[in-house]
Structure 1
Amino acid sequence: MSRWHELTGGTSGREYAARFAAVARGGKDVHGEARFCAALVPAGARVLDAGCGTGRVMIRLAELGYDCVGVDLDASMLAVAREQAPELPWFQADLAAFEPRRLGIAADFDLVVAAGNILPLLAAGTEAAVVRRLAAVLRPGGLLVAGFGLDEAHLPVPPGIALPEYDDCCAAAGLTLVDRFATWDADPYEGGGYAVSVHRGPTA
C-alpha cells in the first residue's frame, strides 16, 4: 500500500478536487505544472501524467494541444478525472508495476510528469522501480519531470525520499539530470523544501 493510501484510505478524490477548485476561485493560478511542461515540449507532444490524480494537470495540457495519458492507482481520484474529462484516456495502475502495452498504451512518450508529491508518497522501497518503469516509456531523449516536497512543510508525512536518492534512481534507469528548480514557476533551486527535477533519457 502506498503512503498516499495510508493517509487517505483511497476516498480522497472529491475532497482533493474541491481544494484546488477553491484555490482557483480565489484567483490563484493552479496550472503551474502544465505551464512548466509546455515550456519543455511543443504542443502535440505525447505526455504521460504519472499519478494523475483528479486530472488537473493533464486536462490543462490536453487543452493546450498535448496528446495525454493519465495513470493513477487511486480509484476515487480517477473517478473525478473521468467525470471532468471523459474523452481523455485514464487508466488505473500501480506505477511500480506499470506496463503500458498491457493497457493498450504505446510506450513512446516525449515527457512523463510526476507532480503532486508522487515520489515521496509511493510505497516504501518502490521508488527505484517506479523511476525505472517511467524511464522505460520515454522516447529516446524524452524527459522525466518530477516535483515533490523534501521536508515536513511541503509534505503531509515525513519525507520519504531525498534528492540524492532520487538522482541515484534516475541514474540507475539511464536518466541524466538536466536542470532543477525550486518551483513550477522555474525559480532557481538553491536548496530548500521543494524541488522540480528534469531528467533526460538516453538519445539512443
Structure 2
Amino acid sequence: MSYTHRWDEMRERDPEHSARYVQRWRDLAAQGLDLDGEARFVDALAERGSRILDAGCGTGRVGGYLAERGHEVVGVDLDDYLIAEAQETYPGADWYVGDLARFDFAALDEGRDMRDLGAHASTDLLGRPEAAPESDRPGFDVIVSAGNVMTFLDPTSRSAVMGNLAGALRPDGRLVCGFGAGRGYDFDDFDADLAAAGLTLVQRFSTWTLRPFTDPGDFLVAIATPGR
C-alpha cells in the first residue's frame, strides 16, 4: 500500500520547500542557537555505543550528533534532498531514503550481519560458535522520531509506521517520539497507536529537557518500550 504523506504534499505544492528547509537549519546553526536538545536527550537515555534509528531524520541533525558521540546510527527519511544533506554533513552515519511505513529494517540487519561476519565470527575452546557481541544483535536499542515527524505522516499510515518501528526495536529497546499538539495527531490517538503496535508508554515529558507532562499539553515527548 502506498501513502500520501503530508511532507510529500508540501513538496509537491512547492518544489523549493526542501531547499528552504535545509537553509533554515543552516541559518539557525550559524546564529549559534542550541539545536541539539533532542539529541542530548537520546544520548543520555542510551548506553554507550548503542544502535540508534533516527526515524524521519531530515537533514541528520539528531542522528549526526549521536553518531559523533560514538553511537551506531541509521537514519531514514522520505525526502531524498534532505538525505543528501545528511550524507554530506554527517558521513559517520548511514542514511537511507524510505517510507517508515514500509522500510525493510530487517534487510539492514541481514546486510550488517554479512558485513560483520569476518570481524566477529569466532569459536570457543571447544570449537563452538561464540555468541555475537551485544552490539550485533538485530534491531535498534533506541528509535527516535523528533521534529514533529509523526504529524507529517499520512494519517492512514500511522498504525503501519508504529508497527514497523515496534518491529525494529530490540526486546529491551526504547522508542522516543516528540511532537506538538494542534497538528492533526491527538496525543490520545498516539497512545492508542502505541498500544496497538504492542508498545507500552512508560514516560511522558512536555519538553526535551524533562519538564513533566501536564494534560492538556502543547508538546509531548513520549518513551515507550516493547510489551504490554
TM-score, normalised via structure 1 length: 0.89
Q: Map of 1:155-170 to 2, 5 A cutoff?
A: 159-170=183-194
Question: Post-superposition shift, 1:87?
Answer: 4.0
Superposed displacement of residue 8, structure 1: 2.7
Which string of whole-angstrom CA distances, capped at 9 and with x for unpartnered residues, describes residues 126-173 of structure 1? 10110000000101121000101112xxxxxxx221111111111111
Moved beyond 6 Å, runs of 4+: none
Which residue of 2 is the match for residue 192 of structure 1?
A: 217
> Which position in structure 1 is the counterpart of 2:106?
101
Q: Who is 1:8 aligned against?
A: 11
**TM-score in terms of structure 2 length:** 0.80
Identity of counterpart residues, as a percentage? 43
Larger-gyration structure (1/2): 2
Distance 1:37 1:198 in 2: 10
Please list, as runs of the form range in 1=range in 2, the aligned pairs for 1:174-193 lying within 5 A after superposition: 174-190=198-214, 191-193=216-218
Counterparts of 1:1-150 in structure 2, within 5 Å, are 1-9=4-12, 11-103=16-108, 104=111, 107-150=138-181
Q: Which structure shows the bigger proportion of residues in helix conformation?
A: 2
User: Structure 2, unaligned stretches of length 5 or more?
Assistant: 114-137
Tell me if the contact between 2:68 and 2:92 (Cα under 8 Å) persists in the aligned partners: no
Which runs of 5 or more structure 1 residues have no equivalent in the other structure? Answer: 152-158
| Bigger shift: residues 82-91 or 98-107 | 98-107
Equivalents in 2 of 1:8, 1:187: separation in Å?
34
Give the secondary-structure state (helix, strand or coil) at the position aligned to 1:164: helix
Q: Is the 8 A contact 1:109 1:137 kept in 2?
A: yes
1:200 alignment partner, SS class: strand
Report the secondary structure of 1:131's partner residue.
helix
Shift in Å, 1:178:
1.1
Give the length in aligned residue pairs.
Answer: 196
Distance 2:112 2:198 in 1: 22
| Distance in 2 separating the partners of 1:177 and 1:121 | 21
